Structure 1
Amino acid sequence: MNINRLILGASFIAAGTLQLGSLNAAAHGWSEFPAARQQICYEQGGLWSGTPPNAACAEAKAISGSYPWVQRNEFSINIQDYNNQQAVRSAVPDGTLCYANDSQKRGFGIGRSDWTRTELNPGEFEYVFNATAPHNPSFWEFYLSKPNTDLNQPLRWNDLSLLKTVGNVPVENGKYRINITIPSDRAGDATLFVRWQRIDPVGEGFYNCSDITIVNGDVTDPEPPVDPVEPVVPYLVQGSQFIPSNISLNSVSVGDSVNFSVFNKNGVEHSAFSLEINAGNIQDWDRLLAAQVNGYYEDFFNGNVFIGRWHPEMEHYMYFRDDLYGNFFNSRDARASGVFSITPAEQAPNETVAISAKLISELNDSEVSYGDVILLTPDVVGANANDAVWAQTDGESLNLQTNANNELIVDTSLLSQTAQTLSFSLSLPNSDAQAIVSFNLTVDGETTEPTDPAVPTDPTVPDGTWNASAVYLQGDQVTYQGRVWTAQWWTQGDEPGTTGQWGVWR
């Protein structure tokens, strides 16, 4: 018996696209008087090009780009257990108060004493909130930073004293107006921190920081104590480059997707992110993809992964915009890793895939002799060859068998000795692509004459010509389509030639 191998080359492209959804709340407003940080920076300009005139605003832009100003009325977070102060502090931890723990707005949480400030006198003043989308019912909390608070550090909950709580306040011409009192013994620079909390199942709350100077000629603001500060050191291990050196911003086209997967210490995928390229993000996709990764790990895994690098002067991690190859995968576990990839825009599948057929023996490519065993080998590009599905499309029916490599075993000795054309197809699930291979089966010499069908055979006697209603036991022999078949075990109704090389009939 000759064993030949026929290679069926099928070019399949299997593309996977990750869809990462996000929950975006509607826009809602900001502190108008005294103005919130993001609003003052917005009014001063330099947001879309150039540099904002205020140094603190300029650093905020360097960290977070222009995105926070697009959403300056949405410094918010959803906390369902919003009446639980511990739950609030866990969701908005120290250092994140001024940007509601939204990693894409983290530039507004930096500790600096040179934010532009609004002057206020001790005593009562009218606080104004500009409501682009009013929400009632709701309640308000007003805090003032304590004396001696180091304003060069990010704001913490323990830095604050509660000034006032207010229940549901009606909106007037798109404004909320609430009277607040500054203590008479306060003077100098401070931060007014405002929490506006919606009363609803989602628990959406808004957090604004207004930088103020309390003008009070009767009180001298004490100087904050100067304590030695230990330098902050990086707490993550720097890994591989985020964007490989062979990739540029121009390596993608509209419709493509850029992807990033994070693998744990065991090499198992922990998370995956994707961003579809469009006309609006084609020159900024690297930062936006990194923001997905950083925001996810900030929100759910305590910042255990960050795309970017350590900034020694600012003493924190940041993504360096306009420095494509200067950002890295950073993780608390040095064994973790990240992989960047590009998925091309989805293309129409090939209706017919080219076939490359070759016999290892010197048989003619289009002819196979009766008795040969042919191995059809799938050649699949971009997918697992074991996922490919074989089917017979022409010729006498065979019970299709494959081996561990998903090679189709075509044993022509299981067929009748009849010259014929055999065809087989190869396809992938969820794809229109298909490859088909055909070859002619030739029969050399004389064929065995079948038993004369005119001679009756007792169906109760397990010999002679096979009968579908007869019962056959192990070792019984019958003739069928010119061949002798032996039963391997009890059988009834199983047609010889259809049970495969390991079936009941051999």
Structure 2
Amino acid sequence: MPARRKAAAVATLGLAPLALTALTAAPSSAHGSMGDPVSRVSQCYAEGPESPRSDACKAAVAAGGTQALYDWNGIRIGDANGRHQELIPDGKLCSANNDEFKGLDLARTDWPATAVSSGSYTFKYRVTAPHKGTFKVYVTKPGYDPSQPLAWDDLDLADPVATATDPAPVGGFYTFSGTLPERSGKHLLYAVWQRSDSPEAFYSCSDVTFGGGNSEESGTENAGGTDASPAPTASAPSEEQIDAGTDKSTVENHGHGDNDAGTSAEPAAAANQPKAAGATENLAETGGDSSTPYIAVAGAAALALGSAALFASVRRRAVGGGRTGR
């Protein structure tokens, strides 16, 4: 085979697998958790997985270990497809029936809480890989008892306090408005983010205190009936804290993971390495969406087709040259 034909064949064969890899890649997994009012898992992560300050977060770590907190943005069901009540039993709503996060299901009155008031509220959902979908936030009914395991019947499912479809991610957050009803004392907000480009859904529990006071003023007894230290005011993790824990996370905090919350498309440490200068920003910061993988697919396909055309052109010239030389 002449050198030119051989080079063209090598180039085409080398590019084809890359194009096929892109063409067979499915849209990847999103990640996130409620940032305001801060979710239980985000609050405990902000306190520090290895040495949390609040009694509730200490108990959560004792029950489920520290990994759940490093994986704060991975409470999910990959094939939910709207079947939330079917797949998540009573008492396991905050963990989404995932044993890794079972510490978040502990029935306690001293979970750190965000002070809220009835009326309009701006929700902020911390997202580390944005995708199309719908958010619904539910509040517990009057008479909710935080010392009992959270059940679906505890939530006012008929009247979500917020619903938002495809809000634009800005600065790492999906921001949308809702209205909190008249309540008093400790309550819980349950957020469900159901993707529309995948059956995957994400879940989070946020403890709140109605009445304008902070949660330190409402600390009572824990689920065991013994005196507990007052619940501290909840606070979301900072960007520095999120970045500091990425090497211990099993989900990709700055990019798109796969369809398994317990694994990532590549080792977490590698997936979360700082980008080289000039590299594309995190999609959560730039407002990218699920169309991004398809742009890459189109580019790879075009590259493969162009290489094939080049090979055919070189082959024709080589064949023509051979005939001329006869």
User: Within 1, Cα distance between the matches of 2:66 and 2:44?
Assistant: 11
Select which of 78, 81, 84 maps to 1:88: 84
Give the aligned partner of residue 124 of structure 1: 120
Q: Which amino acid aligns with 2:34?
A: S
- Report if aligned partners of 1:28, 1:133 keep a CA contact under 8 Å in 2: yes
Q: Which amino acid aligns with 2:72?
A: R
- Deviation digits for residues 349-403 of structure 1, max 9, x if unmatched? xxxxxxxxxxxxxxxxxxxxxxxxxxxxxxxxxxxxxxxxxxxxxxxxxxxxxxx
- Aligned CA distance change for structure 1 residues 216 and 34 (closer, same or farther; 3 Å): closer
The answer (yes or no) to whether the contact 2:163–2:178 under 8 Å persists in 1 is: no
User: What is the distance in 2 between the residues matched to 1:62 and 1:80?
Assistant: 28
Q: Which runs of 5+ in 2 are unaligned?
A: 1-27, 214-247, 249-261, 263-326
Q: Determine helix, strand or coil for the equivalent of 2:169.
A: coil
1:152 to 147, 153, 170: 147
Match of 1:72 in 2: 72
**2:148 counterpart SS class:** coil
Residue 147 of structure 1 and its aligned partner are, at CA, apart by 1.1
Q: Which has the higher helix share?
A: 2
Q: Counterpart in 1 of 2:238?
A: none
Aligned to 2:44: 41
User: Unpaired runs of 5+ in structure 1?
Assistant: 1-24, 218-279, 281-294, 296-506
**Percent same amino acid at aligned positions?**
35
Q: Is the 8 A contact 2:135 2:163 kept in 1?
A: yes
Matched, 1:163 2:166: no
2:103 to 91, 100, 107: 107
CA spacing shift, 1:33–1:81, aligned 2, 3 Å: closer
Instruction: Mark the CA change 1:109 to 1:80 in structure 2 (over 3 Å): closer, same or farther.
Output: closer
* Matches of 1:173 and 1:97, distance apart in 2: 28
Per-residue CA deviations over 1:64-121 (Å, capped at 9, x if unaligned) read 1001112101111123542xxxx32121111111111111111101111100010011
8 Å CA contact 2:31–2:128 kept in 1: the answer is: yes
Deviation at 1:182, TM superposition (A): 1.1
Q: Where does residue 180 of structure 1 map in the other structure?
A: 178
- The residue type paired with residue 172 of structure 1 is V
Deviation sequence 1:428-478 (CA, Å, 0-9, x none)? xxxxxxxxxxxxxxxxxxxxxxxxxxxxxxxxxxxxxxxxxxxxxxxxxxx
CA–CA distance in structure 1, aligned partners of residues 78 and 153 of structure 2: 22
Deviation at 1:189, TM superposition (A): 0.8
CA distance in 2, matches of 1:164, 1:125: 9
4+ residue segments displaced more than 6 Å: none
Count of aligned residue pairs for this structure pair? 185
The residue type equivalent to 2:88 in the other structure is V
Post-superposition offset of 1:52 = 2.0
Q: Secondary structure at the match of 1:41?
A: helix
User: 1:139 corresponds to which residue?
Assistant: 134
Aligned 1:278-427 pairs, distance under 5 A: none
Kindly state the Cα deviation for residue 173 of structure 1 after the two structures are TM-superposed: 2.5
Q: Among 194, 199, 202, which residue is 2:196 paired with? A: 199
Q: Structure 2-normalised TM-score?
A: 0.54
- Counterpart of 2:62, as a letter, is A
Conserved 8 A contact 1:143-1:164: yes
Shift of 1:200: 2.7
Which is bigger in relative contact order (C-alpha 8 A, separation at least 6)?
2
Measure the CA separation in 2 of the matches of 1:127 and 1:215. Answer: 18
Conserved? CA contact 1:120–1:213, under 8 Å: yes
SS of 1:93's equivalent in the other structure is coil
Does the 8 A contact of 1:187 with 1:216 survive in 2? no
